[in-house]
Amino acid sequence: MTDWEWTLGGLESDKSPIWSDDNILDPSSVLLTDKVAIVTGAARGIGAATAVALARFGADLAICDREAEDMARTAAAVEALGGRCVTGLFDVRHPEPRDAWLAEVGEAFGRVDVLVNNAGGTFNSPFADINLKGEAALIAENFTQVTGFIRGCIPLMSDGGSIINVTSIEAHRAGPGFTIYSAMKAAQANLAMSLSLELAPAGIRVNCIAPDVIPTEGERMLGDESTDERSQLAPQPWLEGGSVHDCAAAIVYLAGDMSRFVTGSTIHVDGGNIAAAGWKRRTTGRYST
C-alpha cells in the first residue's frame, strides 16, 4: 500500500483515513467536542470519574445510576464544566426504565456517540452457595443489562459511535469467590469482539477496558482479607498505584478519534498484572509466584 491506499477484503474502500499527509494528527484530535456520551453507573468510582473526564474533553453527558445523591454530584460536576447532563435514576437490571430513559436521551440529544457500560457489581461467595436468585441477579447486573444498553443505543448511533465495556482483569483469569461475575465479565469481552465485527459496517467500534487494583467504593465494600504473607506482596508490578482517573483516561481515548482504528480490543488498566501472569513483586523488589 502506498499514499494511504487501503482495501477491505481485496476491494478498494470508499472511506479514507481521518489523517493523511494533508490532514495531520494534532492535539485537537483528542477532543470530544459536541459528542454525546452515556455512562452507566456514574454516581461514584470509575463511572463518575469517566463522566467528568468526558465532559472535560467537550462531551455532553447522559448518566444513570440508582444512587441519587452521588449521581447529582456527578451531574453538577459535568454541568460546571459547561456540558449538558441528562440523568436517569433507576436500576440498570430493569429493562422498562432503561428503555424509557434511552428514549428521553434520544429526545434530548438526537443521537448517541459514546456508550460506556460501566455499571456492574458482585459479592464474594463460593459458587456452591449462590442460589438461583443470586445467580440471576449477577447475570442481569453484569451482562444482560449491557446487551440491553447496546441494543437500545445502536439506533441512536446513526453516524457511528464507540461502545466501551468496563470489564475486569477477572475476565481474563480465574475469579475464585466471584465465579459468576468473572464469567459475565469474560462474556462482555467476547461480546465486544463479536460486535466489533457485526457493527463495523455501521461505523460503530466496540472495545473494553479491564481494570485491576483500582481503589473504588465498591472494592472497599467487598472487604480485604489480607494476611501477613499477602502484605509482603506489591499489588502490581508498576511502582505507582492506579486510580479511577487512569480508567477514565483509557475511556477518553477509546471514545474519540484518536482510537478510530481500534475495535474489538481490550486495554488492561492494571499496572501490569495481566502481563505478570501470577508473578508477584515482593516489597523487596524480587518476584515470586
Residue numbers annotated as active site: 181
The sign of the torsion formed by the CA atoms of 121, 194, 159, 152 equals: negative
CB atoms within 10 A of CB 35: 22
Query: What letter represents residue 223's amino acid?
Result: G
Give the DSSP H/E element, type plus range, for residue 215: none
Residues 6+ apart with CB under 8 A from 92: 40, 41, 64, 66, 98, 119, 141, 145, 149
- Residue 89 has φ and ψ, to the nearest 5°, of -105, 100
- From CA 62, how far away is CA 66, in angstroms rounded? 14
- Nearest CA-CA partner of 265 in 197, 180, 184: 197
Residue 31, Cα to own-chain centre: how many angstroms? 18
User: Is residue 207 within 8 Å of 265, Cβ to Cβ?
Assistant: yes
Give the DSSP H/E element, type plus range, for residue 246: helix 244-255
Q: Where does 28-177 have alpha helices with state H?
A: 45-56, 68-80, 95-109, 132-139, 145-153
